[in-house]
Amino acid sequence: MRRWILIPAFGAVAACNTVAPVASTGFNTPEYQAQREAQLSGQGLAGNPLDPPVPVSQQPLSAQGTVTPLQGGSSAEDIANQTALALANTSGQPVPAAPVSNPGISDEQDFEAVSNRRSIETDAARIEQNRQTYEVVAPTAVPERGSDGQPNIVKYALSTSNPVGTQLYSRAGFNLQAKAQRNCARFPSADQAQIEFLSSGGPQRDRKGLDPDGDGYACGWDPTPFRSAVNN
């Protein structure tokens, strides 16, 4: 019984020790190894030339610099500067910044540009010229409002304190509101109606029927804006 058990065991061990065959193609072939050694030593094999190297990219390399097209409407100086920039750019050398003439932009903040045009003597001459043309204007008093014989509604507004609609003066008659509505329609504004009201004996008297509620304000005229302007 022991002999029959040992025989299958030896067979399994022999199967595990079997060496896999070496592939005869790819990088492990003797032909490839010989070709590689000949390539490294600078020699080629007769009848078996090496494959030429393949470039990574077939696209041509871009130029070192880009050329900016000339802009339309440029002056002769700008065209010359741009042409010099284009020639220097194609040579691969660093291109210094060229000034571009633009009459709409001031260079007063550029010390080098200003120093090329001015000196201490020229600045002194400009200061002296400014002193000669400098004029001191003496302050004058604010002109007073001329009197045209009409009541001043601003002064009247500041002299009152009662709100609109608060009666201070007595009014007698019938249909005062309807009468005031007809009479007020004759004036282009409430200010004109108030001036006429004060000119005709107001605020104590209302001869033209413009102040039916007796508050001293004709045709809905309101003194509040004048008071607010003074308080602010």
pLDDT digits (tens, 9 = 90+) for 47-97: 555 555 555 555 555 545 454 555 555 567 777 777 777 776 665 555 555
Q: Percent helix, strand, coil in the chain (nearest 5)?
A: 45, 0, 55
Please say whether the beta carbons of 145 and 152 come within 8 A. yes
d(CA 137, CA 100) in angstroms, rounded, equals 43
Whether 23 has a pLDDT exceeding 50, the answer reads no
d(CA 179, CA 184) in angstroms, rounded, equals 9
d(CA 196, CA 219) in angstroms, rounded, equals 11
Beta bridge partners, 63, equal none
Please give the full DSSP string across 2-64, using - where no structure is assigned: HHHHHHHHHHHHHHHTPPPPPPSSSTTSHHHHHHHHHHHTT--BTTBPPPPPPPS--SPPPPS
Q: What's the average model confidence in pLDDT over 27-35? A: 74
pTM, two decimals, is: 0.40
> Which residue, among 31, 91, 51, has the nearest Cα to 67 in the 3D structure?
91
* Residue, of 85 and 136, whose pLDDT is higher: 136
> Which residue, among 214, 99, 219, has the nearest Cα to 153 in the 3D structure?
219
Model confidence pLDDT, tens digit, residues 139-170: 887 767 666 678 999 999 999 999 999 999 99
Question: How large a percentage of the chain has pLDDT more than 90?
Answer: 32
Half-sphere exposure (CA, 13 Å, Cβ side) for 162?
13
